[in-house]
Each structure stands twice: as C-alpha cells, then as structure tokens.
Amino acid sequence: EVQLVESGGGLVQPGGSLRLSCAASGFTFSTYVMNWVRQAPGKGLEWVSYIDTSSTTIYYSDSVKGRFTVSRDNAKNSLFLQMNTLRDEDTAVYYCARDFGRQAPYWYFDLWGRGTLVTVSS
Amino acid sequence: EIVLTQSPGTLSLSPGERATLSCRASQSVSSTYFAWYQHKPGQAPRLLIYGVSSRATGIPDRFSGSGSGTDFTLTVNRMEPEDFAVYYCQQYGSPPLTFGGGTKVEIK
C-alpha cells in the first residue's frame, strides 16, 4: 500500500526539542521530493519545509528557519524533522507530504500522512 | 506572501446539492499554480485539483476547479455523503506556497 506514516509527536516544554519521522512505503521514496506541512489547532495548513531527493536543496518557512532541520534517509525510506527551541506557536499536527513531481518539485502534494501531534506547553 | 481567503467558512448542504467554494488571493496567482485538497478528521489530506482545473488521479468528475488571477472556485456537483469534509485551497506560483484557512462542508 502506498502510504506515509508520521511518528514522534508528543508533549514538550517550550525551548525543548523533538524529532519527527515519516516512514514511506509502497513507492520509490528516493525519487520523490518531500515536504513537511503543519496545522495548528483551529487554523489552516502551513508549509514548513522542503527537501529534494538527494538532500542537496532544502527550504524552510521563515517561522521555523534556524530552529528546524529536515533530513531524509533514502535507504530506510524515511523523512525526518528535527525541531529545536520549540515555541508555543509550534503546537500543531505535522504532516509529511509527497510532491507530485519526481526529482523536481511541482509544489503540490499528492500523498499525505495522517499526521502526528506536537504540543508545546509548560 | 500570498494570503488565501476561503469563503464561506462553513457551508451547510444536503446530499445531492451542489457545493460552490471560493478562494480569493491577496495578489494574482502566477499562471495556473493552484490546487484544492479535501481533508476529513483523522485522515490524510487528499489532493483533488491541481493546475486550477486538473483532477488528481481517482478523483470523480463531480469535482471541478476553475478561476484565474485572484479568484478561484471549487465546485462539487451533487454532493455525496463521503464529500462532507474540510476543503483547502493552495497557491504554488509564488514562494512560499500558501494554503487557505479552509471551508467546512457539513450536512444540513
């Protein structure tokens, strides 16, 4: 089955760290560029980060730049998001999302996971 | 960044009725770089429409997208029970890509 499954969410104090994982299956993960998208409670979707197939080109939203680090392990079909210096406003469900295009981004997403909840609170 | 405003916030319809969802951009969206997603609670979001009007794989033809510039529309002809969900628009013509706040389509 073609799917993405996120894990690693939980409750963390402000200033703390968390590492999210996304396990891909059913497709050739190494040929797709990937993204992280989040949704804060009661809010819309917000793009967070992009990584190309070789981890050469990486982008972040201004709201997480300098605090979050995206990475991938193509041998293990996995995508990661290391989140440091977490803030209350980072509380959200985090989704990994596959870009429609292979190798190069199309910037719309044809496969999403169900998400993992990150709660930043003291 | 381009801000997308969706309306209405909530749409109450009966099965069989037509749904018309709007998305207005704060500035003109480049070319046809516009998409729509469906999201049900606890599920993964699903791509419905890309390139303004192209249906994604497996999407029924009762879903259609239209628009240009700053005004875009998602139409669902004859709502089916499984179509009641939250719908999000997205522009990807100008970085950073942005999403709208969503329209919830609920059963009347």
Assess contact for B65 and B34: CB atoms under 8 A.
yes
pLDDT band, very low/low/confident/very high, at B16 (cuts 50, 70, 90):
very high
d(CA A4, CA B43): 12
pLDDT of A103 reads 79
- Minimal CA–CA distance to A57: which of A76, A26, A75, A35? A35
What was the pLDDT predicted at A30? Answer: 96
**A12-25 pLDDT, tens digit each:** 999 999 999 999 99
pLDDT of residue B95: 87
Query: Which residue is closest to B58 within chain A, CA to CA?
Result: A110
| Alpha carbon distance A29, A86 (integer Å) | 28
**Looking at the predicted structure, is the pLDDT value of residue B30 above 90?**
no
pLDDT value at position A13?
Answer: 97
Q: Which residue of A has its CA nearest to B52?
A: A108
Contact A47 B33 (CB under 8 A): no
Kindly report, residue by residue over A111-122, the tens digit of the pLDDT.
Answer: 999 999 999 999
Say whether residue A1 is in contact with chain B using an 8 A CB cutoff: no
Indicate the average pLDDT of chain A: 96
> pLDDT for B31-74, tens place per residue?
889 999 999 999 999 999 999 999 999 999 999 999 999 999 99
Strand B103-107 vs strand B10-13: parallel, antiparallel, or unpaired?
parallel
- Whole-angstrom distance, CA of residue A67 vs CA of residue B66: 38
* pLDDT for the residue B31: 82
pLDDT at A101: 86
- Assess A100–B contact: CB distance below 8 Å, yes or no: yes
The pLDDT of residue A80 is 98
Digit-coded pLDDT (tens) for A33-51: 999 999 999 999 999 999 9
